[in-house]
Amino acid sequence: IKLDAQDQTLCFVPREDIARCFQPDSMLSAMYPGFEPRAEQVEMACEVQRAFSTDGISAIEAGTGVRKSMAYLLPAALLAQGNGIGVGVATKTNALMDQLIYNELPRLAKQLPQGLRYVAIKGYEHYPCLRKMQAMASMDPEPSEDEDGKRRDLARITLLASIYAFLDQSAWADFDAIPLHWSDLPRKAICASSGDCLHNRCRFFPQFCLIHGLRQMARCADIVVTNHALLFRDAASEGALLPPIRHWIVDEAHAVEDEARKQLSLCADVRDLRGELAHLAKGPSSVMAHAIRKAKQVEGGQLITICAVKVEEEANRCDAIAESFFSFVKDLAEHAEKSSYDVVELWVNEQLRETGTWSVVAGTGRSLANHLTTLTDLCKELLSCIDSQESRLWDVAADVKGSCCHLEEARDAVDLCVNVQDPDYVYSASLNRRPDVPAEALNASLLDVGNALNQLFYPRVQSVVYTSATIATGESFEHFNHAVGLDLQEAGRCRSLKLSSSYDFQRNMTVLLPYDMPDPTCGKLYTEALCDLLLDVHEAMGGSTLTLFTNRKEMEHVYNAIHPRLSELGIPLLCQSKGYSAKRLRDEFLANKQTSLFALKSFWEGFDAPGDTLRCVVIPKLPFARPTDPLYLERELRERNAWQRYSLPEAILDLKQAAGRLIRSSTDRGVLLLCDSRLLTKFYGARFLGSLPSQNQLRLSVDDVGAFLRSWE
């Protein structure tokens, strides 16, 4: 097991030795055929080493082509092996985790004299619990005469068989590695959970427990790779989920603020809460029904039965109140702005709290919170009645404990939203206007993530290196530093470093700015001009074009307008419509160089299409936050220059991410077409254009775009 770096006096490899590893005929040249030294990669590796050795925090923007993964992995591996400690790497996307685990780390392990121990670990919900799997597999099908019931039973059995087959062949046992449809089997019914883990009372612990095995491997690993979600969930739980790692690399750091906010916020969701109540006490397969059956088999089981019945009755009361509560939450939609969208995110501000609609929500919410408190107290009473030495009831106790944890979280979220109103949070209601779709939720989102990280994360670590291809706006790191709380650190602890790409963006990326496009706020006039322009672009390029939209309805409208014409020309065009798998879209786009794609936010980052597969990226509109976004509105209320401090730099970073899809190797060439005329007419346009990797920017008329692309080809 690795030592805790906090209790050790560490030794560090000299900077010059780190730099030597990146020279010709060095370790890296043996790892990569055709390796060429890159000054930016050496500089980054030395900065990572400096942060480690000074207990510092570094923010490094490393452009595409710097090869930043090895620039931080090599110093991290040398630090870990030289001191018998673990070093952590946190990423946002599964794609980068896979790249590190299956490509970069194995290459590095072959070159190090001692090899390298590494492991990837995610949250509990990514792994199956063998105890729950066995219970689900042995469960008798519920009697059902209708075809839907029989179909659900068959789907459940098929899903379980697929998971068992996967576990038999997988080294990591991560659900993300296989496509599963959870509609017929609640994920939490078979996933591991910190709340209901039996630990040494489980028949599968420790030899066969998947999550325990991974956590043991993590305690012994030189490099622990995880995701942002687990990193910040661990910080919120005071280090209960990960080994005591004191030196961290946080890659894809542009996403840190959003993920940390998500993990440090609270939510009461109708589907989650009512699903948990049903799991606890509704039907013959519920936890309470199981508890009552088991109680009959043990001496003194009458008291357990009495407690279980009380839990069952109170859970049913909570479910009835929850149904009413969330129906009243749905009524809040009458206060939302008119929209053609079914889904609404409504800011819960003081004006809304003064309405009669909210008064009903608040009153019912207080009742729900009180009854959930009663229910969790009854669950704890039941747990105290279960003899800890009676192994036949250990499973019951674990399931009750797990439900109790989830119900307490829901209770805290409801209480915070309707009673406490802590000013550290911004409150909102997620609504679906369709009366037949129960999808309501109340959210309390943390407003100042940086302040929270200064309380929960930085005191637990010694050094942190944040890195991404896009964290600076122009030359400034001010926005990022505030977002993650570096502006609250003591002077001298934090440094920033911006490294240019080794790729020749000036030569390989051309940015087109049509100066006579209508303003995006012109509605129909703009949309018609966009349709004409995109039709011309796709004809000129013959495909291999990615258009990144900020609005689904606008995307679908444009798609319906130009798709028939492109079909006649033999140019395949895909569209990220509802229900269309992002992975399937990626695979189809990459499989055919003539294919083009209309896509939304999930394709603005982390999407790689090298070579001729992608030759043109089109951005119809600048990616500003929605003016109805609750976080945006709360910031506008509290800070005079909130738009310039938050919305503008966030949009600049999003545009840089989108531009980064175009050039993914030193030989890639492409055109970035920016259709938003505000880049040329508004004061902030220069900030967007100055932040792009290429300053080869041409202003031309809409009519000349197609002709330019044909000549460029």
pLDDT digits (tens, 9 = 90+) for 153-193: 777 788 888 888 888 777 667 777 777 766 666 777 788 78
pLDDT tens per residue across span 63-120? 888 899 999 999 999 999 999 999 999 999 877 888 899 899 999 999 999 999 999 9
The reply to whether the predicted model has a pTM over 0.85 is: yes
Q: Give the residue with greater pLDDT, 582 vs 472.
A: 472
Among the residue ranges 199-203, 307-311, 636-640, 676-680, the one predicted with the least confidence is: 199-203
Banded model confidence at residue 607, pLDDT cuts 50, 70, 90: confident
Among the residue ranges 140-154, 325-339, 419-433, the one predicted with the least confidence is: 140-154
* Cα torsion angle, 597, 602, 605, 607, sign: negative
Amino acid symbol at 290: H
Q: Give the residue with greater pLDDT, 377 vs 283.
A: 377
- 677 vs 517: CA distance, rounded Å: 6
Is the CB of residue 292 less than 8 Å from the CB of residue 308? yes
Banded model confidence at residue 124, pLDDT cuts 50, 70, 90: confident
Banded model confidence at residue 575, pLDDT cuts 50, 70, 90: very high
pLDDT for 143: 58
Average pLDDT over residues 576-580: 82
Among the residue ranges 130-139, 327-336, 554-563, the one predicted with the least confidence is: 130-139
pLDDT for 477: 96
pLDDT at 602 > cutoff 80:
yes
Banded model confidence at residue 498, pLDDT cuts 50, 70, 90: very high
Is the CB of residue 484 less than 8 Å from the CB of residue 256? yes
Instruction: Provide the 8-state DSSP code for 645.
Output: I
Bridge partners (DSSP) listed for residue 238:
none
75 preceded by cis ω (within 30°)?
no
pLDDT for 409: 95
Average pLDDT over residues 559-572: 94
Is the CB of residue 470 less than 8 Å from the CB of residue 257? no
- 263 vs 281: CA distance, rounded Å: 28
The residues, any chain, with a CB within 8 Å of residue 288's CB and separated by 6 or more, are 280, 281, 308, 309, 311, 312, 315
Q: Given the structure tokens 């063998």, which residue do they identify?
A: 130
Banded model confidence at residue 391, pLDDT cuts 50, 70, 90: low
- 590 vs 445: CA distance, rounded Å: 37
Bridge partners (DSSP) listed for residue 442:
268, 429
pLDDT at 458 > cutoff 70:
yes
Among the residue ranges 79-88, 238-247, 281-290, the one predicted with the least confidence is: 281-290
Closest CA to 217 of 86, 79, 95: 86
Among the residue ranges 199-203, 288-292, 321-325, the one predicted with the least confidence is: 199-203
Banded model confidence at residue 389, pLDDT cuts 50, 70, 90: low
- 322 vs 401: CA distance, rounded Å: 21
pLDDT for 407: 96
Banded model confidence at residue 44, pLDDT cuts 50, 70, 90: very high
- 488 vs 619: CA distance, rounded Å: 35
Average pLDDT over residues 474-495: 95
pLDDT at 263 > cutoff 90:
yes
Average pLDDT over residues 424-447: 93
The structure tokens listed for 298 are 């043990």
Banded model confidence at residue 256, pLDDT cuts 50, 70, 90: very high
pLDDT at 125 > cutoff 90:
no
What average pLDDT does the chain have?
91
- 183 vs 161: CA distance, rounded Å: 16
Is the CB of residue 400 less than 8 Å from the CB of residue 321? no
DSSP character string of 81-129: HHHTB-EEEEES-HHHHHHIIIIIHHHHHHHSTT---EEE---GGGSB-
Banded model confidence at residue 146, pLDDT cuts 50, 70, 90: low
